[in-house]
Amino acid sequence: MAVRQREEAAASLEPGRRERLREIYRWMILLRTLDERMLTLQRQGRIGFYGSCYGQEAATLASAAALEPGDWIFPALREQGAMLLRGFPIVPFLCQVFGNAGDPQKGRQMPSHQADASVRQASWSSVIGTQLTHAVGAAYAAKRRGEPTVVMAYLGDGATSSAEFHQALDAAGRWKVPVVFCCQNNRWSISLPVDRQTAAPELWRKGLAYGVPSERVDGNDLVAVHVASSQAVGRARGGGPCLLELVTYRLGAHSSSDDPTRYRDPAEVERALARDPLVVGRERLAAAGAWTDEDDARARRDAAGEVARAIAEAEALPRPAPGTLFDDVYAEPPWILAEQRERLAAELAAAPRRRPGE
């Protein structure tokens, strides 16, 4: 398939699509607001780690918005915001970052690794590329069962050099499973630029080697991403896999543990800011008469208030109770686990009480 350039991909904002794009843009503003607050909290020592989506909001949210409620997402690092767009409440989302009693994962997963079956978002392991073969397996199962499910598998540019990427594309191409691979090419594999981790100047071409229809999309344009993703999901639901290379840019650090100034020229970031997806999205919507200055001020005010209230509620919750360590390990707990639970409870009861912070 020919490369989809921005001018070709960005369809006109017809009335039927306008409200959906406005909704996506509001979620982009909320996600940007949330990321900024989380990074502040991390610097204050109130949370331990955070992976920001700064600069990739359009690629993440406009693609996920193309899915139906019954479809599944197998994420990489920066797709946790898709859960919010798909209906996951923001307070338990934040509780996962805090790792407290409100976390549905009971504080067992690393921060910024949100997952929940209620919104069909699988967990991931931080190992580069492993989610891709898992996604193909889930899509294969859906096809075998005759279910109308599409699986969206996210990856970064660095993952296209992993063994799992090639295994997943090969299997998906052979089995014609309903999976959409969304490669967010943000130009940096942590500290390694894309041209140093692969000789392929255009990552979308890697899919063609496995018989997977592939195309390149302007990942900073929410209209282009949503149009291309909607078409890809439609093809996958009735046919087979495809690969989208969403060309974007990681405006911030790889994570709160990273200092990009040690390996990246600040002038490069300044140039990329001109293509900030929130700037591009606002321009696209405003040009079509679908977004005003009043809309923007209201959306930012609402996002700031919602995030502030959610942080206050989430941060007030206590740590997970020690006994939850034994929950969700087995459907029917074996005797040895029950014995360990009782022993822990007895030891805690006998231990001296400590004051908070000790």
- Residues identified as active-site: 250, 254, 263
Nearest residue to 245 via CA among 297, 197, 291, 184: 184
Surface-to-core class of residue 356, CB atoms within 10 Å of its CB (0-12 exposed, 13-18 middle, 19+ buried): exposed
Tell me how crowded residue 169 is: count the other CB atoms within 10 A of its CB.
Answer: 26
Dig out the tokens for 187 from the structure. Answer: 């130009």
**3-state SS, one letter per residue, for 17-68:** HHHHHHHHHHHHHHHHHHHHHHHHHHHCCCCCCCCCCCCCHHHHHHHHCCCC
Nearest residue to 256 via CA among 4, 49, 38, 24: 49
The b/e string for 190-220 (b: 16+ C-beta within 10 A; e otherwise) is eeeebeebeeeeebbebbeebebbbbbbbbb
String of DSSP letters for 243-308 = EEEEE----S-SSTT--GGGTS-HHHHHHHHTT-HHHHHHHHHHHTTS--HHHHHHHHHHHHHHHH
